[in-house]
Amino acid sequence: MPNEPGEPGTRSKIVVIGTGYVGLPAALMWARSGHLVVGVDIRENLVKAINDRTLLVDEQELNDLLADPVVQSNISARTEPCEGDVFVIAVPTPVDAQRKVADLSYVESSIRSIAPHLKPGNLVVIESTIPPLTTRGLVAGLLEELTGLSVPEDIKLAHCPERILPGDIFREIVENDRLIGGVDETSTKAARELYSAFVTGEMVATDDVSAELAKLMENTYRDVNIALANELSLICEDAGVDAAEVIALANRHPRVSILAPGIGVGGHCIPVDPWFLKEIAPYHSRLITTARLVNDDMPSRIAAKIRRSLSDCHSRRLPRIVAFGATYKKDCEDIRESPALEIVALLERDGYDVTHVDPLVPAMAYDDLGALLTDCDLAVVLVAHRAMTDELRALEADHPATRFLYFDA
């Protein structure tokens, strides 16, 4: 019989499908706790990096973790799954851009890949963010169909959504509370013991559907509040007043806390997860859908504002723009779903001469910030990385012919 995950004195073999932002940190933490861990990824460069002990993630804590002799003795990587005691699915779940529904093809492919290796007593955990009812529906159905085993009598199954922030992965994966959503009490108990190997936050037992919904609610709450701030900023612009000042005035009310407006919403979670709620409840998600549309429209609004700021530029040549910041948020190297990239693409489509730089993105780094401002008509700060913005503000006086626009505080 396989080991019971997390039982004292046992050493489970944990197979992690997907070694990206979510799967890799968890794999390293389980390896440090003494479990035998196999990371599985179709990307051969990631598999090679793990086996060569050279991570491709710029997280010092994770690199230090991989350098630990205990971790190195317990972790390996491969492109195909193998037998194990626990199987953790941590693959992407993007949204179909046309239909605005979840693309679960990576999850389905992962289940199909582990099915030949499953045995009675195994635990399968879904960490990927998924629409409600997916765990007990699609996942459980596929497991039973492909293995001939029963869920949860033979195979334990749980949804334990991740809660991590790129740039602060190590602290968040350890200290954040973890939802443990088993399809039955036995599955919940097994998953809880699995995560007890490294999670110091509270592990909250619930069912799989509640865990699925809670994760989606977290990011939808943030998306709706961002949309409110962005829409209020547009209203302030129409009224001819400074949005930041007016929001600061409104926030003096003891029960009001409006966010700072921005250029849109990026990253892999917030622009995606609200659509999963709309998918299952289209008639009860009108506010959620509107918020998504507001935030998705912000890059075109910002691009239009940049165009207007150049309307009186009488240079004999095409106006030259330098755009600063390409990641989806400040002081983070992640460019997934970045609205800054969309804004620059819109301006380039209009024929503007745009130089796009970001000190946190290796391919977009620069040597001399001052040199970038030479013959620059407009400097646009789309993502205000602290060090970059401080230096840029210090250079403003030296470039009186350059206009400066800051869209990110």
H or E stretch at 180 = strand 178-182
Crossing angle of helices 286-309 and 273-280, in 10° steps, is: 140
Assess whether 215 carries a catalytic annotation: yes
The DSSP line for 181-211 is EESSHHHHHHHHHHHTTT--S-EEEEEHHHH
In degrees, rounded to 5, the angle at the alpha carbon of residue 385 between the alpha carbons of residues 274 and 359 is 110
Tokens of 34: 């003494």
H or E stretch at 178 = strand 178-182
Q: Assess whether the previous peptide bond of 400 is cis (omega < 30° from 0).
A: no
**Antiparallel, parallel or unpaired: β 156-159 and 178-182:** antiparallel
Crossing angle of helices 286-309 and 339-349, in 10° steps, is: 50
**Ranges assigned E (strand) in 41-114:** 75-78, 86-89
Q: Among residues 136, 79, 64, which one has the least CA distance to residue 110?
A: 79
H or E stretch at 323 = strand 320-324
Q: Which of 269, 329, 330, 332 is catalytic?
A: 269
Q: Which of 13, 156, 189, 215 is catalytic?
A: 215
Say whether 213 sits in a helix, a strand or coil. helix
How far, in Å, CA of 80 to CA of 85, rounded? 16
Contact 219, 269 (CB under 8 A): yes
Amino acid at 66: L
How far, in Å, CA of 64 to CA of 54, rounded? 10
Residues paired with residue 355 on neighbouring β-strands, in sequence order:
322
Please give the span between the terminal C-alpha atoms of the chain, in angstroms, as a whole number.
Answer: 57
Number of H helices, E strands in the chain: 15, 12
**Active-site positions?**
215, 269
